[in-house]
Structure 1
Amino acid sequence: MNKILIVDDEPNILLSLEFLFKKEGYRVFIARDGEEAMGIIKENGPDLVILDIMMPKVDGYEVCRYLKKNHKNVKVVFLTAKSKQQDIQKGMEMGADLYLTKPFSTKDLVNKVKGLIN
């Protein structure tokens, strides 16, 4: 069973994505900030991380940097409100496998995640 970590400081997004991916048969972990996310990554080694950028304590860029340095095989999907071209470029340059902006289509997100880890 593939493991997904969802990292976002918005409870509604965490709850809806957790439900959605569990329904799709994934083992799902959630974190409310980057600091919590790094602890879960160390303990559970997810296959894919869905990552917001703007979060308290440790932002998504820092989590992505940590992943690319220490867990190179983990896929990274940025899911963020930061939609400027320079934000997207920075995310991709940091090693994101996918960069999606909010608002987003859940169906599209599920299909793209399946394409990355199946």
Structure 2
Amino acid sequence: MAEMVGPRLYSCCNCRNHVALHDDIISKAFQGRNGRAFLFSHAMNVSMGAKEDRNLMTGLHTVADVYCSDCREVLGWKYERAYEESQKYKEGKFILEKSKIVKENW
């Protein structure tokens, strides 16, 4: 008899609050402040900080820090605006740092 297993997801490393689904990963080839990061199409149970312009590796972007809604751990950021045409695909997407999230239901 097969066990019922929920979706593979990622949780906050600090409090285990569910923050993203594995199926929402767009790319694992991103760089965060503290190492590798994943680009997600969606995130859940998070809150956003103030929008600010940052010069990132791929140019100028307007971003907002992403916090766990339970413990307020900074998990990454959300791309609000990309100024270069080749980077527009990132708008509305989330960067979650690999060191800040843990796998659940794997």
Work out whether the TM-score is over 0.5: no
TM-score band w.r.t. shorter chain: under 0.3
Structure holding more helix per residue: 1
Greater per-residue strand proportion: 2
Return the TM-score normalized by structure 2.
0.25
Structure 1 length-normalised TM = 0.24
